[in-house]
Amino acid sequence: MNDINILLYTKDTEKKQAIMKITKSIDLKFGELKANQANDLISSIVGLPTFTTFGTMDETNKKAPALWSMPELVLFFGVPDAKLDAFLAEYKKTGLERIKLKAIVTPTNLNWSLYYLIEHLKEEAKAFE
């Protein structure tokens, strides 16, 4: 899946269609995140090898609680700055409600679980409110 540049999780079909259109218009590849990927490492979601010490468990690869529900999220992977700016500008033009949780896949978060990344993003969002 490492040819995917924008990964989206939303239940809003209008947002999904708009993002698919924008992604195509700026020559990026679109993919969907699934709720059942919450416990997967970001590296496996984007199709990269995972480099962890065997048996190591820490907060960054923590599993989602049983009743946890995945929020709306967009991940950017390998998107050049100019195209990221273009994507965000085009999305803003749609007039659709913003997606609060956004992240760029980095070497730091590659070995995080999707759940941990989302919880981290929620904490960051609270700090900005």
- Which range is least confidently modeled, 34-38, 98-102, 114-118, 123-127? 123-127
List the Cα angle 109/5/61 in 5-degree steps: 25
Number of CB atoms found within 10 A of residue 21's CB: 12
Q: What percent of the chain has pLDDT over 90?
A: 72
Write the DSSP assignment of 37-78 as a string of letters. Answer: GTTSBHHHHTT------TT---GGGPPPPTT--PPPEEEE-S
Phi and psi for 32 in degrees, rounded to 5? -110, 140
pLDDT at 2 (0 to 100): 59
Confidence of residue 54 (pLDDT cuts 50, 70, 90): very low
102-113 residue pLDDT tens: 999 998 898 899
Confidence of residue 18 (pLDDT cuts 50, 70, 90): very high
Average pLDDT, the chain: 89
Q: Look at strands 30-32 and 6-9 and give their pairing.
A: parallel
57-102 residue pLDDT tens: 567 777 888 889 999 999 999 999 999 999 999 999 999 999 999 9
CA distances from 19 to 7, 43, 75, 82 (A): 10, 23, 12, 17
